[in-house]
Amino acid sequence: MKSTFVRPAIEADLPRLPEIERSASEAFRGTDLNLEALMSVTPAEGWRDALRSETLWVVDDGAGRSIAFLGAEAAGHELHLREFDVELEHQGQGLGRRLLSHVIAWARTAKFQALTLTTFRTVPWNGPFYAAMGFRELSPAEMSSRLVTILKNEAYHGLDPAQRCAMRLDLDET
């Protein structure tokens, strides 16, 4: 494989994003999680706003093919990570860490105060991964109404709320 690199997504990447998301969901096969709910992906058109807002990034395989992506949206002074996926065959190579590090640096430069996300609390490549990247799990009292609504929507779509959490990475200068 050629040298991979992180770049802003372009129009030509959009059709690949559902494929990447579907492939990444395969990592959950064999767990006790609702695989059917996890296999429901955002259609390519669902990423157009993030593309326009320049809050959509991909890992390029060096040949112009995207193999991972992170889609986010601004929510006031926070950047919310909506979806973050690495194709199954490329997982475990540090690409996710590189992509997330890139987005964290971008968010700091863009003067966001924090990054937020919702994820599975105990799945190693979810909650523990984000904790290793500096995110902390929010208690129910610390969650904004926006994050509470996201978690409720996820539960409505079949994700077990007992296994989900909201996390935050403060982007202060220290």
Burial letters for 150-164: b for 16+ Cβ neighbours within 10 Å, e otherwise?
A: bbeebeeeebeeebb
Residue 56: give the domain boundaries. Answer: 5-170
106: domain CATH number is 3.40.630.30
Any idea of the CA torsion for 4, 9, 14, 18, to the nearest 10 degrees?
60
Please state whether the predicted TM-score (pTM) of the whole model is above 0.85. Answer: yes
- The SS3 call for residue 94 is coil
Give pLDDT, residue 2: 65
pLDDT tens track, the chain, 174 positions: 468 999 999 999 999 999 999 999 988 887 777 667 677 899 999 999 999 999 999 999 999 999 999 999 999 999 999 999 999 999 999 999 999 999 999 999 999 999 999 999 988 889 999 999 999 999 999 999 999 999 999 999 888 999 999 999 999 854
Split into its structural domains, the chain has a count of 1
Termini Cα distance of the chain = 37
